[in-house]
Amino acid sequence: MVKAIRVHQLGGPQVLKWEDVEIGEPKEGEIRVKNKAIGINFIDVYFRKGVYKAPSLPFTPGMEAVGVVTAVGAGLTGRQVGDLVAYAGQPMGSYAEEQILPANKVVPVPPSIDPVIAASVILKGMTAQFLLRRCFKVEPGHTILVHAAAGGVGSLLCQWGNALGATVIGTVSNKEKAAQAKEDGCHHIIIYTEDDFVTRVNEITSGNGVDVVYDSVGKDTFEGSLASLKLRGYMVSFGQSSGSPDPVPLSAIATKSLFLTRPTLMQYVVTRDELLEAAGELFANVASGVLKVRVNHTYPLSEAAKAHEDLEGRKTSGSAVLIP
């Protein structure tokens, strides 16, 4: 038996229960991993509340972790006991001391990267990678707008976007987060609780608008994001921390011939090659110092409920991890 966080009913942080679970031995093509650090993401909150549907109840939440391989299923080569590996995305269930994973879903963690850093960055970092490099390819001369610029993904988007040569505009809720966004390479910072971000973007871009908006906030920012885009701009909606946006009539994007996409990481790391490329580029940027990863909060795995409370209460900045 191992300990894990289980959700028996959907709801607030209090539904996260610390329990014994049976995980068994790895079958063909699988490995057993003893987690060293587990990343916390807003998607975990969406599953806990039922915004996204878990395959069944009860379930163990969690979409990223780093751990050591403790057992290898039959017929597997290329993975051995003692390997340090990371995974992000499916299958859900990382809020556990140990878990069984498909071997083709894990990536090796370079020895130069601390497991806690790797666990806090693999999901958010591969998300930033596909958003900036594939969904809309950011290049020198582009101007990008990043909402929640001090959040886990937002912070990485600002640093990486700056490194790619873009002018980065970030929105944040307060002065502390503004200071972090500045440190992360934001050229222009808008405190949206004090200023209307559409007006400010218009001023900053001399009325032209931005090439792309990376919007993880959803309902509260969606219309403003569309209004902030230049002709033929890209609206990339990749989250909804404030709730799902209202339905968009096609006429809303027709006025400026805009592109609108609602991507998810899983559709961008379908093949093993795509997964290794995304993780490889991410880890290379972490190792070289292009990306600074702030693990500002660590919690014991048994206190996942407290971690969720803080995340939803906007008490966190940067990344947070659970330690088994």
Q: Is the pLDDT of residue 318 over 80?
A: no
| Residues 230, 117 within the same domain | no
Peptide bond connecting 61 to the previous residue in cis, omega within 30 degrees of 0: no
User: How many CB atoms neighbour CB 1 within 10 A?
Assistant: 10
Same domain, 175 and 106: no
Q: Would 10 be classed as within a structural domain?
A: yes
Query: Can you give the CATH number for the domain in which 299 is found?
Result: 3.90.180.10
Grade residue 90 by pLDDT with cuts at 50, 70 and 90: confident
Helix or strand run (H / E) with residue 45: helix 42-49
As a whole number of angstroms, the distance between CA 39 and CA 307 comes to 11
| Nearest alpha carbon to residue 190 among 173, 207, 167, 211 | 173
Smallest CA-to-CA distance from 132 within 120, 142, 122 is with 142
How do residues 214-271 score in pLDDT, each as one tens digit? 999 989 999 999 999 999 999 999 988 888 899 999 999 999 999 999 999 999 999 9
Residues 282-291: what's their mean pLDDT? 96
User: How high is the pLDDT of residue 8?
Assistant: 98
Residue 160 in any domain: the answer is: yes
Q: What is the CATH number of the domain that holds 143?
A: 3.40.50.720
In a domain, 228, yes or no: yes
**319: CB partners within 8 A, 6+ apart:** 39, 40, 120, 121, 124, 152, 293, 294, 295, 296, 297
State residue 26's pLDDT score: 96
Residues 185 and 237 in one domain: yes
pLDDT at 291 over 90: yes
Of 246, 262, 278, which residue constitutes the final position of a domain?
A: 262
Is the pLDDT at 2 greater than 80? The verdict is yes
Average pLDDT, the chain: 95
Look up the pTM and report it: 0.89
Top-confidence residue, 249 or 316: 249
The yes-or-no verdict on residue 44 having pLDDT over 90 is yes
Same domain, 118 and 46: yes
Distance CA 255, CA 210 (A): 15
Q: Which residue would you say has higher pLDDT here, 7 or 41?
A: 7
* Structural domain includes residue 184: yes
- The pLDDT of residue 76 is 83
* Residue range 121-144, pLDDT digits in tens: 999 999 999 999 999 999 999 999
Give the pLDDT score at 162: 98
Give the pLDDT mean for 16-21: 97
pLDDT band at 296 (very low <50, low <70, confident <90, very high): confident
Q: From 320, 285, 147, 201, select the one nearest 158 (Cα to Cα).
A: 147
Count of structural domains, the chain = 2
Is 281 contained in some domain?
A: no
Residue 195 lies in a domain: yes
Task: Please give the average per-residue pLDDT across 46-67, as a whole number.
Answer: 95
**184 lies in which domain range?**
136-262
Tell me the mean pLDDT in the region 160-168: 98
Domain co-membership, 70 together with 158: no
Examine the domain organization and report whether 92 and 183 are in the same domain. Answer: no
